[in-house]
Structure 1
Amino acid sequence: MSIEARTFADEHWGLAPLLTRREDLSSTFEDLLSVDAVDELVSERGVRTPFARMAKNGSLTARENFTDSGGFGAEVTDQLDSAGILAAFADGHTLVLQGLHRLWPPLIHFAGELVRDLGHPVQVNSYITPASSRGFDPHYDVHDVFVLQISGEKRWILHPPVHQHPLSHQPWSDRKDDVAAMARTTPTIDTVLREGDSLYVPRGWIHSAQALGDTSIHLTVGMSAFTRYDLLHHLVSTFAEDARFRSPLPVGIDLTDADAVAPHVRALLADLVSALDENDAPVNREHAVADRVGRRFTEVTRPAPVRPLATIGSMAALSANSVVGWRPGLHARIVDADDAVTVTTRTKSVRLPAVCASAVHQLHSGKDCVVGELSGLDTDDALVVVRRLLREGIVVPRSSPVPPTD
């Protein structure tokens, strides 16, 4: 039976797997990817490595076996070769299409919505496995995943972590023996996913999969969760502005002698406690850490794409009745000043007259806005401001213009 989002967040996120059957969902995944879509991506879209790889029995397939030049006018040498993929696939090699949240429109929109729901970065790969073939050995990932079974059947075997909540620099290959030993024990989950089924696998959980019968296609939706360690990392970085923590260790110290280093570690911890207790340091550091984490989040996520030609057309046809909205997924810092309001995104900073502040905040709320109804601006000024924000990719056209009223 499907569960509420709050229950998933409290009882499964980062903690325990969750199996959901097709009959418990209100919809399936046909709108995200299909067998025909995979064929189209491989044969007609000019996909290049590293957006694809192949593997068999846990080993990667040599790239030259499934890529080739695109021919006249597209002489790049690493485009997918559909005939090469056919031969390798028939020989039991699994095809992995990577970064589909950047390639395939339904998954671009799906990933964007999921980022907004989860608050963490998302990626989408697809695994296309020949009948009765295994792609990779038992392993764990350093990110959480949702497995969405698109077609065929695949048997999934899950074992508990040997290293809970692994960080990105703590891959399963560092613990091969422990992983292999755990994989020989009784599994926590041993199940077959069929079309429309899904499985949540927290990072660190050991898993392997094998296609059954016909070709199996599934999506792996990876979620790279920000962690408490990330907060700690950014907290420590705020101390770079404090001279106490930039001072050198003594001349002549033996850094290979733990007893010689230990007193300096204890002194450092004491200074950290003292620094955290000083004046308004806790509040200031909280804001500094939040700002750093926010900047990192915007670096690794992307807003919804814009349509350049359609936007140019909307700018030309813009009227008081046109409807626009903030570009989905675009993170920005808005600063009000006496003489201006500034919108700063990951890639640019746009400065507008202070009279535009209310309109900018109205747009930033995420609600669709009628141009002629923007707060604090007359129609002519609103048209100028919206054209500028459309040009900069900060707002986007939302729908057909609202019919004029009598």
Structure 2
Amino acid sequence: MLNSGLDWILGGRSTASLFNAASALVPLYLPTTGTDFSPLGALHSLGDALRLKGQYLSCNASIYREGRQTHPGRDVPTEIYERWLFDEYTRGGSIVIRRYEELNAAAQCLKNALAIELMSEISVHAYVSPASAQAFSAHFDPHNALILQLDGEKSWEVARNHYIKYPLQEDAQSQSVPSDELTRCDVITMQRGDVLFIPAGRVHRVRTSSEVSFHITVGVRELSWEGLAVALLKDARMRDERFRQPAKGEPPAWLVRLAGDLNATVNTELAVRRGFDRHRVDLVDSLTPPARAYLSSEVSTAIGPQTMLALVPGIYAATITYGDRVRLNFSGISTPGRPSYVEGPIALESTFKYMAENLGTFLVSEIPGGLTEEARVAIAQRLISEGLLVPASVISNQKT
């Protein structure tokens, strides 16, 4: 379980320098962090992982060479696609594996931890490159990127002065970067265990050395003011049925006023808090935990006030309030890919927030909210049966 995704990546270092680099739009290179990246997969085992995931492979793995993507054609059988992929790799093409967390449980934990820690959308892609290969020409990404070098070696050329400030997704897709933009650049050779932070919009170019390279890129799409405004409107849509009416005829006066007052709405403390809450709930709803075997029919019944509890590793939760009701959403383990939730009266708000924000262990008797002992036990049993909580002893036993 990665309680802190960044601490795990940075080998226990403070994250302040990382965020300072992000705000200054400059790269940050952390050689030999001391972090053990082996749970994310070793190069020699990658081929085995791919062969076991044929259908996944044909949907998510691509070949790039010198800035161009190649493809064998449409509707190619999985076996042929896999053979073509490795043939292209031997000819100098780089394999790009999107949604790598679907292949690797540690990558899934890392994605979940960073999403909640940074309040950001996280993507995890893997790159397997043969010696002397270049997958992409000079380019920039519309999001911050953390590069973790898992195996081999790779050379990064990062422009010193050329960057696009706060780029949009369409900027990165439509704009090509002239080669002369990299006449003045820093050259960084990434080796196993190294970490590199590339801010959004920073122009860079990458090539492997004489060694095969295996790295993953963690894309971090931070919440922008635009994203917060969207979250505010989404929250308003849930609360006010007028937003759900068909858009026919002239725009209603209330909508015109809303458009004019949007800036004031964003600066309203309660509205902003609701927008952040909505964004966090949406993040949680998008997370899929790795499969765990913590649940059993006996676990939830054999607890009492002195039972020590913890969140199930890989599960994240968030609360959101609707009028006089409060909901606790969490990434569902019983139905992967679909969020789970429990709902109750507003009086349970402090109780649910405690569950969502507590990453340590706690006794059933410590559950807040002015509840009776019987009510605390009942809520704990419900959340255990739903897959959010588990007795700490169960986690300890599975680790030994």
**Residue in 1 that maps onto 2:363:** 370
Structure 1 segment 63-102 matched on structure 2, within 5 A: 63-64=72-73, 68-69=77-78, 81=82, 83-102=83-102
- Aligned to 1:135, the other structure's residue is in SS state coil
Deviations 1:15-45 (A, max 9, x none): 10011111xx232422322113312221123
Q: Is 1:134 equivalent to 2:134 in the alignment?
A: yes
SS at the partner of 2:209? strand
Larger-Rg structure: 1
Counterpart of 2:296? 312
C-alpha change, 1:80 and 1:42, in structure 2 (3 Å) is farther
Q: CA deviation at 1:386?
A: 2.5
Name the structure 2 match of 1:258: none
Match of 2:212, SS state, is strand
1:333 aligns with 2:328: no
Q: Deviations over 1:327-365 (max 9, x none)?
A: 54211225795xxx6424275653447886775454344
User: Greater relative contact order (Cα 8 A, min sep 6): structure 1 or 2?
Assistant: 2
Once residues 389 and 29 of structure 2 are traced to their aligned partners in structure 1, the CA distance between those partners, rounded to angstroms, is 39
Distance 1:371 1:236 in 2: 37
1:33 matches 2:41 = yes
Correspondence for 2:57: 48
Instruction: Find the aligned partners of 1:181 and 1:272 in 2 and give their Cα distance.
Output: 45
Q: 1:314 to 1:292 in 2, by over 3 A?
A: farther
Kindly indicate whether residue 96 of structure 2 is the aligned counterpart of residue 125 of structure 1: no
Q: Which residue of 2 aligns with 1:350?
A: 342
Q: 2:320 touches 2:328 (CA, 8 Å); kept in 1?
A: yes
1:207 to 2:208 alignment:
no
| 1:260 aligned partner | none
Q: Report SS of the residue matched to 1:134.
A: coil
Are the aligned partners of 1:355 and 1:377 in contact in 2 as well (CA < 8 Å)? no
Secondary structure class of the residue paired with 1:158: strand
2-structure distance, mates of 1:56, 1:66: 22
Q: Hey, what does 2:190 align to over in structure 1?
A: 193
* Residue in structure 2 matched with residue 59 of structure 1 by the alignment: 68
CA contact under 8 A between 2:319 and 2:353: conserved in structure 1?
A: no
Task: Tell me whether 1:6 sits opposite 2:30 in the alignment.
Answer: no
Contact 1:331 1:345 in 2 (8 A): yes
SS at match of 1:193: strand
Contact 1:342 1:349 in 2 (8 A): no
Q: Is the deviation greater in 315-324 or in 345-354?
A: 345-354
Structure 1 residues 205 and 401, CA, compared in 2 at 3 Å: closer, same or farther? closer
Which stretches of structure 1, 4 residues or more, deviate above 4 A after TM superposition? 63-67, 232-248, 306-309, 334-337, 346-349, 352-362, 372-375
Aligned-partner SS, 2:384: helix
Structure-2 change in CA distance of 1:107 and 1:144 (3 Å): same
| Separation of aligned partners in 2, 1:330 and 1:61 | 40
SS of structure 2 residue aligned to 1:399: helix
Tell me by how many angstroms 1:307 deviates.
Answer: 4.8
Q: Please report the TM-score for the alignment, with normalisation by the length of structure 1.
A: 0.73
> Is 2:25 the partner of 1:15?
yes
Alpha-carbon separation, structure 2, partners of 1:355 and 1:43:
52
Counterpart position of 1:254? none
Q: 1:356 to 1:182 in 2, by over 3 A?
A: same
CA 1:363 to 1:19, structure 2 compared with 1: closer, same or farther past 3 Å? Answer: closer
The aligned counterpart of 2:383 is 389
Give the percent of matched residue pairs that are identical in Structure 1 and Structure 2.
18
Most deviating of 310-319 and 223-232: 310-319
Deviations 1:26-74 (CA, angstroms, capped at 9, x unpaired): 324223221133122211234334322111222112145996336xxxx
Partner of 2:109: 109
Tell me what 1:216 maps to: 213
CA RMSD of aligned residues (A): 4.0
CA distance in 2, matches of 1:382, 1:231: 35
Q: CA deviation at 1:217?
A: 0.7
Query: Offset at 1:104?
Result: 0.6
SS at match of 1:138: coil
Give the number of equivalent residue pairs.
358
CA separation in 2, counterparts of 1:365 and 1:234?
21
Classify the secondary structure of the residue corresponding to 2:380. helix
Contact map agreement 1:145 1:201 (CA 8 A) in 2: yes
In the aligned structure 1, how far is the partner of 2:90 from the partner of 2:149?
A: 21
1:221 is aligned with what amino acid?
Answer: V
Letter in 2 for 1:186: R
> Are 2:319 and 2:326, in contact at CA under 8 Å, matched by a contact in 1?
no
Conservation of the 8 A alpha-carbon contact between 1:55 and 1:95: yes
